[in-house]
A and B are shown apart, each in its own frame.
Chain A
Amino acid sequence: MNANLSVAEGGHAPVAAPHPTHKFALLLRREFWEHKGGFLWAPVIAGGISLVLTAMAGIAGEVMMNRASSSKGFDVNGTHMSINGLDLGMLTSKMSPEDMRQLGGAVDASLLASSLWPIIAMTFVVFFYCLGALYDERKDRSVLFWKSLPLSDRDTVLSKVASATLVAPLIATVAALLTMFGFLLLASLLVSIHGGNPVQLLWGPGSPLAITGHFIASIPIYALWSLPTVGWLLLCSAWARSKPFLWALMIPAFSGIFVSWFDIMQVFNLQSSWFWKNIVARVLLGTVPGSWFDVARLEHVDVDGPRAVSEAMNLHAIYSVLLTPQLWIGVIAGAAMIVAAIRMRRWRDEG
């Protein structure tokens, strides 16, 4: 597509004719090659470890319950249930619709919790990936190799933005969902051991498929919401002569302290907390998934019940973020910082 048409005249050189290139695809693969450990293995291992821990907890629980078989039972959510000795199948048959609803909420909450670790790993990976993306190549001077190829600074930096906002979250989401289903299988196993029907007790009341859909649906929101952070970190990465981490952290933190100290936001009739929430947090914590939750419209949600978490995760709430000025102002600010990072990479002279 970028084939340069300037002729291979003369025919002296025994060299093939210009061939089409796939620059952006290759740039994305290059980021993946370099950061395979962070993008792929970190979430996969985090998910794997959480599954192993769950399995171990399950086994430990079994052992403890066997030991305590003489005891009368224990409390779960205020409902007295005696699992040991009692058939779980009996339990479901006696549950009212309201109980089922509560159970479903509890199942969904634990499904979400089980999928958390790959996502947490990704949060850190993306943060440090952005910090190093334009700094490491200057430090080891490999930027001179990248710049010896017909790749524009714009495409190069944008490939890093896409890696941070789309590739890494996509991989982490897949890892999180696999972990979630792994957890569901483990739980099903435990339930069946106790004579329960996993379909009735877990798969039916819980909504793993809806959660899957919502996870995937929220990736674009994540990408847009994280732009100010990604832009800020890339800018620090392109600008700092050393210690980009300190600069990236200190500048927003100290401006926050400065603002709080002198109550500068009062000029705009705002609290200092506004600055912390809308500036400092946005440039530092944007890579935390779901940090947009705060601005989402959650009007139909019963926030106290056990279904709160899963109800908050609905398409309406997720995409309501697209209607908030906070998102779009952040996108513009992020884009501006990315443009600045591109210019910085273009002209920065590495002694």
Chain B
Amino acid sequence: MNTVRDDSASAVISARGLRKAYKNKLALDGTTFEVPTGRIIGLIGPNGAGKTTALKAILGLIPFEGELRVLGRDPRTERDALMNDVCFIADVAVLPRWMRVREAIEFVAGVHPRFDRERCERFLHGTQLKPQMRVRELSKGMIVQLHLALVMAIDAKLLVLDEPTLGLDILYRKQFYQRLLEDYFDEQKTILVTTHQVEEIEHILTDVMFIRDGKIVLDAPMEDIGERYVEVLVNGDRVESARALRPVDERALPFGKTVMLFDGVPLPRLSELGETRTPGLADLFVATMKGTYA
């Protein structure tokens, strides 16, 4: 039993050359990546870059070309077995609106072998959700609380989140990720999350992937990001010598200063140019995606 799992233990997801074409564009274009166990990976990209398509492929929801193993299985042919170990929250508010809180719990408990009812009820205890309530009576934030409680009570190996906090206020958003970190995540589990709200998740991510036009353009652990990328506040008189080091991005600030982003240039050399700091994920994202909508 264990030996079967072992070859997939190193990589929860391994994708090679994924291709998916919609009518007028390529959503996945040779997409290749690996996701190891026990990580929280952010899949980040502009609108229409193929994030959701990649997730749908991983979840076996759509046909596609290429080689993809999720927990050692092919999601196209072994989806039913796969879903015992994979959970997902696709977008917000996909819980059926007619359902009552109590029915949702009863249903998931009855169909999911790894659902822990007590755990779910514990998660719901501190909230305003009552068993009699119907989903259609709940606010968006409460629906997400319910969905999250259902999903967190499932002992899955891979959790996929597609824009899970879209449309929520900041309180619910913070609470959402806090919950995930405190009560769910451990080294046995892997979380793959897509979002536009880069700033809010960057501190919880262990890895980050940037996707653009169906291709992975950056795939690195967060530690590496700090080492590889440096942002320098360059004084006006040193701009030319800084440019010689080939910054990946530059933007002008008022008072003649320029912020430049360098990839893989040794820190001592950059310190000569001006004040240095580790760039935020958002800055890195903007620099990498420049010209996407041009």
A-side residues, CB < 8 A to B, are 2-10, 12-16, 18-23, 25-27, 29-30, 33-34, 137, 140-145, 147-152, 346-347, 349
Complex Cα gap A25–B109 (Å): 12
Question: Are B113 and A15 in touch, CB under 8 angstroms?
Answer: no
B5 contacts the other chain (CB 8 A): yes
Question: Are A149 and B108 in touch, CB under 8 angstroms?
Answer: yes
With A13-B186, A33-B98 in contact, is A18–B114 under 8 Å at CB? yes
Question: Are B110 and A6 in touch, CB under 8 angstroms?
Answer: no
Question: Are A5 and B1 in touch, CB under 8 angstroms?
Answer: yes
Complex Cα gap A100–B96 (Å): 57
B85 contacts the other chain (CB 8 A): yes
B249 contacts the other chain (CB 8 A): no
The stretch of B87-95, B203-211, B274-282 that contacts the partner chain: B87-95
Complex Cα gap A9–B157 (Å): 11
Q: Can you sample 5 A-B contacts with CB below 8 Å?
A: A4-B81, A13-B189, A145-B96, A148-B88, A347-B62
With A4-B84, A10-B188, A144-B90 in contact, is A33–B110 under 8 Å at CB? no
Highest count of chain A CB atoms <10 Å: which of B61, B83, B93, B151: B61
Which residues of chain B come closer than 8 Å to A20, judged between CB atoms? 113
> Which residues, 65 to 103 on B, are CB-close (under 8 Å) to A?
79-81, 83-85, 87-91, 93-100, 103
Q: Is the interface of A mostly helix, strand, loop or mixed?
A: loop
User: Using an 8 Å CB-CB cutoff, how does the interface string of B96-135 with A read, 1 for contact, 0 for none?
Assistant: 1111100100111011111110110000000000000000
In this complex, how many residues of chain B approach chain A with their Cβ under 8 Å: the count is 47
With A23-B110, A26-B111 in contact, is A148–B2 under 8 Å at CB? no
**Shortest distance from the beta carbon of A20 to any chain B beta carbon, whole Å:** 7
> Which residues, 174 to 202 on B, are CB-close (under 8 Å) to A?
186-189
Instruction: Name the residue on B nearest A5 (C-beta).
Output: B1
Complex Cα gap A9–B70 (Å): 19
B254 contacts the other chain (CB 8 A): no
Instruction: Name the residue on A nearest B52 (C-beta).
Output: A351
Question: Are B110 and A25 in touch, CB under 8 angstroms?
Answer: yes
Instruction: Name the residue on B nearest A9 (C-beta).
Output: B2
Instruction: Name the residue on A nearest B184 (C-beta).
Output: A13
Complex Cα gap A29–B63 (Å): 31
B155 contacts the other chain (CB 8 A): yes
With A30-B107, A349-B56 in contact, is A140–B96 under 8 Å at CB? yes
**Shortest distance from the beta carbon of B182 to any chain A beta carbon, whole Å:** 13
Partner of B110, one of A21, A34, A152: A21
Which residues of chain A come closer than 8 Å to B98, judged between CB atoms? 33-34
Which residues of chain A come closer than 8 Å to B81, judged between CB atoms? 4, 150
Instruction: Name the residue on A nearest B116 (C-beta).
Output: A16
Question: Are B107 and A349 in touch, CB under 8 angstroms?
Answer: no
Partner of A33, one of B56, B103, B188: B103
Nearest 10 CB-CB pairs, A to B? A26-B110, A15-B155, A18-B113, A142-B96, A150-B83, A144-B90, A4-B84, A144-B94, A152-B80, A349-B62
With A148-B89, A150-B80 in contact, is A15–B114 under 8 Å at CB? yes
Question: Are A6 and B5 in touch, CB under 8 angstroms?
Answer: yes
B-side residues, CB < 8 A to A, are 1-2, 5, 56, 59, 61-63, 79-81, 83-85, 87-91, 93-100, 103, 106-108, 110-116, 118-119, 147, 151, 155, 186-189
Which residues of chain B come closer than 8 Å to A349, judged between CB atoms? 56, 61-62
Instruction: Name the residue on A nearest B95 (C-beta).
Output: A145
Complex Cα gap A12–B189 (Å): 10
Question: Are A15 and B83 in touch, CB under 8 angstroms?
Answer: no
Which residues of chain A come closer than 8 Å to B1, judged between CB atoms? 5-7
Given contacts A148-B90, A151-B80, 14 further A-B pairs with CB under 8 A are A2-B113, A7-B5, A13-B155, A22-B110, A29-B107, A33-B98, A33-B99, A34-B98, A141-B91, A141-B93, A148-B59, A148-B151, A149-B112, A349-B62
Complex Cα gap A15–B61 (Å): 28
Which residues of chain B come closer than 8 Å to A145, judged between CB atoms? 90, 94-96, 147
Instruction: Name the residue on B nearest A141 (C-beta).
Output: B94
Complex Cα gap A242–B170 (Å): 36
Complex Cα gap A37–B79 (Å): 33
**Shortest distance from the beta carbon of B151 to any chain A beta carbon, whole Å:** 8
Highest count of chain B CB atoms <10 Å: which of A4, A14, A22, A150: A150
With A141-B91, A150-B84 in contact, is A12–B56 under 8 Å at CB? no
Complex Cα gap A110–B99 (Å): 41
Question: Are B97 and A142 in touch, CB under 8 angstroms?
Answer: yes
**Shortest distance from the beta carbon of A150 to any chain B beta carbon, whole Å:** 4
Which residues of chain A come closer than 8 Å to B119, judged between CB atoms? 14-16
Which residues of chain B come closer than 8 Å to A10, judged between CB atoms? 188
Complex Cα gap A145–B113 (Å): 17
Complex Cα gap A349–B186 (Å): 32
**Shortest distance from the beta carbon of A219 to any chain B beta carbon, whole Å:** 26
Partner of B116, one of A15, A22, A141, A147: A15
Question: Are A4 and B114 in touch, CB under 8 angstroms?
Answer: yes
Which residues of chain A come closer than 8 Å to B83, judged between CB atoms? 147-151
**Shortest distance from the beta carbon of A58 to any chain B beta carbon, whole Å:** 39
Question: Are B188 and A23 in touch, CB under 8 angstroms?
Answer: no
Complex Cα gap A14–B114 (Å): 12
**Shortest distance from the beta carbon of B100 to any chain A beta carbon, whole Å:** 8
Highest count of chain A CB atoms <10 Å: which of B85, B94, B103, B111: B111
Which residues of chain B come closer than 8 Å to A27, judged between CB atoms? 111
Question: Are B99 and A151 in touch, CB under 8 angstroms?
Answer: no
Which residues of chain A come closer than 8 Å to B118, judged between CB atoms? 16
